[in-house]
Structure 1
Amino acid sequence: MTDDDLSLLDDIIAALQTLREKMASAGSETEPEPSDADEDDLIDTWTAASRFNLPVDTIRWLCREKGMGRKDGGRWLVSVKALRHYLDSRSP
């Protein structure tokens, strides 16, 4: 391997790292987390399940795994905006 080959390899690795960072930041934008400012946006899992025609367990999973809600007094509250955004991004 020549010095030119090593230099090319270093450039490729740097480009891949930059791409990885861009993808990571894009992922955080597509799945917004509810904040304290969105207090009016939070509803309980049963209401969300009825409104969006999804199983309650799916709503809980989205809260837990995708950060779309928070626990309050032992029950999950889900962000309507985050859930709507997630479902819209999945539809064709």
Structure 2
Amino acid sequence: MSEILARIDLAIAELVQIRSALAPETDESSCQPQEEDFVDTSTAAERFNLPRDTVRWLCENKGMGEKRGGRWYVSVQAMRDYKRD
């Protein structure tokens, strides 16, 4: 078993080297964390100052979100567009 793990570690190290060689140089700004595309309905309701039921309705009826494991997650960009209009 330890031989298999050692081979996996070696393969990962080789892949990291290949990726480093192929990856273009990046500046500091591109390394900053990006905002999540989707947030839960409670977070969206707080952030966009809307009732949670309204956010859920927008997800269900206006296609602004997706259901994951029985919970709705709303697109941040779709909410921005909705509030802007």
Shorter-chain TM-score: which interval?
0.5 to 0.7
Paired residue for 2:71?
Answer: 75
CA root-mean-square deviation: 0.6
Ranked by relative contact order (alpha carbons within 8 Å, sequence separation 6 or more), the top structure is: 1
Number of corresponding residues: 50
Q: TM-score, normalised by structure 1?
A: 0.53
Is 1:42 the counterpart of 2:38? The answer is: yes
Aligned-partner SS, 1:43: strand
Q: Alignment partner for residue 54 of structure 2, among 55, 58, 79? A: 58
**Structure with more helix by fraction:** 1
Structure 1 runs of 4+ off > 3 angstroms?
none
Q: TM-score, normalised by structure 2?
A: 0.57
Structure 1: segments with no counterpart, 5+ residues = 1-39
Return the offset for 1:44: 0.1
Structure 2: segments with no counterpart, 5+ residues = 1-35
